[in-house]
Amino acid sequence: MVDLLRYFLLACEERSITAAAKRAHVTQPALSAAIARLESELNVELFHRERGGVVPTAAGEALIPRAKAVLAAIDDARRAVEEVRDVRTGRVRIGGGATVCAYYLPPVLAAYRAQHPAVKLLVREGTSEGTREAVMSGELDLGIITVEHGEFWRDDEMILVAAPDADTRGAPMVTFPKGATIRDALERHFPGSDIVMELSGIASVIEHAAQGLGVALVSRVSVEDALADETLVEVKDPRTPIVRPLKIVHRGLERLSPAAAALRKLLLASRTVRRRRHGRRS
Comparing 2-81 with 87-152+245-269, is the CATH topology the same?
Answer: no
Residue pLDDT, tens place only, 12-71: 999 999 999 999 999 999 999 999 999 999 999 999 988 878 999 999 999 999 999 999
Cβ(221)–Cβ(104) below 8 Å:
yes
* Residue 26 region by backbone torsions, left for phi larger than 0, else alpha for psi between -120 and 50, else beta: beta
Domain boundaries defined on the chain? 2-81, 87-152+245-269, 156-244
What pLDDT is recorded for position 282? 30
Residue pLDDT, tens place only, 203-247: 999 999 999 999 999 999 999 999 999 999 999 999 999 999 999
User: Which residue type occupies 251?
Assistant: R
Cβ(235)–Cβ(162) below 8 Å:
yes
What pLDDT is recorded for position 88? 65
Mean pLDDT value across the chain: 90
3-state secondary structure labels for all residues of the chain: CHHHHHHHHHHHHHCCHHHHHHHHCCCHHHHHHHHHHHHHHHCCCCEEEECCEEEECHHHHHHHHHHHHHHHHHHHHHHHHHHHHCCCCCEEEEEECHHHHHHHHHHHHHHHHHHCCCCEEEEEECCHHHHHHHHHCCCCCEEEECCCCCEEEEEEEEEEEECCCCCCCCCCEEECCCCCHHHHHHHHHCCCCCEEEECCCHHHHHHHHHCCCCEEEEEHHHHHHHHHCCCCEEECCCCCCEEEEEEEECCCHHHCCHHHHHHHHHHHHCCCCCCCCCCCCC
Out of 64-68, 122-126, 177-181, 190-194, pick the least confident: 177-181
Please determine, for residue 281, whether its predicted confidence score (pLDDT) is greater than 50.
Answer: no
**End-to-end C-alpha distance for the chain, whole angstroms:** 56
Cβ(127)–Cβ(198) below 8 Å:
no
What pLDDT is recorded for position 208? 96
CATH placement of domain 2-81: 1.10.10.10
What pLDDT is recorded for position 10? 94
Please determine, for residue 87, whether its predicted confidence score (pLDDT) is greater than 60.
Answer: no
Q: In angstroms, how far is CA 146 from the centroid of its own chain?
A: 12
Fold for domain 156-244? D-Maltodextrin-Binding Protein; domain 2 (3.40.190)
What pLDDT is recorded for position 279? 40
What pLDDT is recorded for position 75? 83
Task: Name which of 88, 87, 110, 83 is nearest 266 in CA terms.
Answer: 110
What pLDDT is recorded for position 278? 45
CATH architecture under which domain 87-152+245-269 falls: 3-Layer(aba) Sandwich (3.40)
